């Protein structure tokens, strides 16, 4: 039931108040690069989701350890803890072959907010870190896209997918399958478009993942 609770909390945090006074239409910003037209995640909502993710993973780990203590020997429990500590916090987003075709930064006179990994349609896509799914659907330009809020407050966006195999509220761990690469949205060929955001601001995914020990070269 935890995923549904998180999903309900996320929707409540991002939904406008019914009693709020009507707001005058605001002009569309001319942000360059891939344009997002999905739900806007406010800072309070982002922090609420992050806190919920941290609480849920902490509770899950406590439950796991408690279960181990009652069902396993001391030696086996020690082995489980070592195994948990050795599990990677970050992994690459593709389990099959790919080729880095476009990096982060200015491109064709616009800002490219992520990196492009060329791969055939249907390639397995994995979550780069543990967290909760905050969006799974279609956005203009991105086509089919999944957004995952991580335990540390960062988020990852996986775009142009051919198939989405998760839903809002799902808890995922690093390396867990979430979808299939594709060619949907504003795409010139089959590839995975990956973005990493810190506090809502896009950063270079390749450089950031390299800092976490994951080399996408």
Three-class SS string for 79-114?
HHHHHHHHCCCCCCCECCCCEEEECCEEECCEEECC
Q: What is the pTM of this model?
A: 0.66
For 84-136, write each residue's pLDDT tens digit.
444 579 999 998 899 999 999 988 788 999 999 999 999 999 999 999 999 99
Identify the pLDDT of residue 95: 81
Calpha distance 28→10 (Å, rounded): 25
Identify the pLDDT of residue 108: 78
CATH 2.70.70.10 fits 1-7+39-217, yes or no: yes
Identify the pLDDT of residue 45: 53
Give me the residue label for tokens 């390299």: 210
For 31-88, write each residue's pLDDT tens digit.
333 443 344 445 555 555 666 666 666 665 555 554 554 444 434 434 433 344 445 7
- Alpha-carbon dihedral sign for residues 100, 113, 52, 40: negative
**Tokens standing for residue 1:** 């039931």
CB atoms within 10 A of CB 158: 27
Q: Is the pLDDT of residue 24 over 50?
A: no
CB atoms within 10 A of CB 86: 7
């Amino acid at each position: 039931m935890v995923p549904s609770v998180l999903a309900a909390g996320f929707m409540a945090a991002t939904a406008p108040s019914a009693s709020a006074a009507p707001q005058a239409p605001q002009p569309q910003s001319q942000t360059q690069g891939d344009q997002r037209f999905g739900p806007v995640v406010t800072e309070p909502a982002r922090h609420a989701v992050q806190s919920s993710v941290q609480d849920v993973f902490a509770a899950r780990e406590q439950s796991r350890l408690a279960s181990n203590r009652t069902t396993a020997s001391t030696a086996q429990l020690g082995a489980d803890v070592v195994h948990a500590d050795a599990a990677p916090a970050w992994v690459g987003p593709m389990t099959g072959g790919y080729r880095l075709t476009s990096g982060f930064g200015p491109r064709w006179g616009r800002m490219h907010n992520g990196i492009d990994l060329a791969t055939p349609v249907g390639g397995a896509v994995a979550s780069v870190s543990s967290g909760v799914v905050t969006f799974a659907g279609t956005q203009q330009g991105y086509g089919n896209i999944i957004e995952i809020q991580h335990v540390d407050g960062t988020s990852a966006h996986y775009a142009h997918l051919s198939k989405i195999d998760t839903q809002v509220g799902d808890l995922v761990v690093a390396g867990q399958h979430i979808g299939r690469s594709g060619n949907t949205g504003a795409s010139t060929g089959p590839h995975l478009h990956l973005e990493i955001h810190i506090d809502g601001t896009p950063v270079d995914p390749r450089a950031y993942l390299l800092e976490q020990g994951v080399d996408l070269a």
